[in-house]
């Protein structure tokens, strides 16, 4: 079970449904290199599903930006094993005050183990602790696993699909 210790110092050890042990914590500014390692372990399709575009690499500038979170208006959590990082979930501000955009990536070798669900729940908890209760997500319409995850972990308020992209507005279930 994930335990939240504080907004800025989430640290928890978790056992996945397959028995694997992982550590979840908030991303820190010095984690830019770890974010690059997550990227490097993902297939081009996983990268495309997360960033909605093809990216040959996660540039150092982008990695620094993604690691530079304040854990209030922008938050991110990272999952790690003894051998390195395996997934990241985050929320980013939108132009709509009080609403944030969700992002989630799990390296291919760690997908389908329940890690995405745990990371999403942790991001929801962090957002709720910061008074944020409205979320949006942009998901490829064919990404059924992510659409299902958001529908089961969140409460869908509205959704639309255009040109293969599904945009969801949701709230988190209480945690």
Residue 5 clears pLDDT 70, i.e. is over it:
no
Is the CB of residue 59 less than 8 Å from the CB of residue 111? no
Residue 84 domain flag: yes
Q: Domain tally for the chain? A: 1
Distances from the Cα of 121 to the Cα of 32, 118, 175, angstroms: 23, 5, 8
Domain membership of residue 32 as a residue range: 11-132
CATH number at residue 25: 3.40.630.30
Residue 143 included in any domain: no
pLDDT > 90: what percent of the chain?
A: 89
Q: Is 99 helix (H, G, I), strand (E, B) or coil?
A: strand
155 in any annotated domain: no
Could you give the C-alpha distances from 137 to 2, 50, 60, 129, 167, in angstroms and in order?
23, 11, 25, 20, 6
Q: Examine residue 141 and state whether it is found in any structural domain, yes or no.
A: no
| Model confidence pTM above 0.85 | yes
Residue 78 within any structural domain of the chain: yes
Report if residue 157 sits inside a domain: no
Specify if 77 maps to a domain: yes
Q: Per-residue pLDDT tens for 130-161? A: 999 999 999 999 999 999 999 999 999 999 99
| Residue 151 domain-assigned (yes or no) | no
Per-residue pLDDT of 38-77, as tens digits, reads: 999 999 999 999 999 999 999 999 999 999 999 999 999 9
């Amino acid at each position: 079970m994930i335990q939240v210790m504080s907004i800025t110092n989430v640290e928890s050890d978790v056992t996945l449904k397959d028995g694997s042990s992982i550590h979840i914590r908030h991303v820190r500014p010095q984690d830019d290199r770890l974010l690059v390692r997550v990227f490097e372990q993902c297939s081009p399709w996983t990268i495309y599903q997360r960033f909605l575009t093809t990216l040959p690499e996660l540039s150092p500038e982008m990695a620094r930006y993604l690691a530079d979170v304040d854990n209030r208006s922008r938050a991110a959590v990272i999952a790690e094993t003894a051998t390195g990082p395996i997934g990241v979930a985050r929320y980013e501000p939108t132009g709509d005050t009080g609403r944030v955009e969700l992002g989630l990536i799990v390296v291919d070798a760690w997908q389908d183990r329940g890690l995405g669900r745990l990371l999403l729940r942790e991001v929801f908890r962090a957002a709720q602790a910061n008074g944020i209760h409205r979320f949006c997500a942009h998901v490829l319409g064919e990404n059924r696993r992510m659409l299902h995850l958001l529908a089961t972990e969140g409460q869908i308020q509205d959704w639309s699909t255009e040109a293969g992209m599904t945009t969801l507005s949701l709230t988190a279930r209480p945690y």
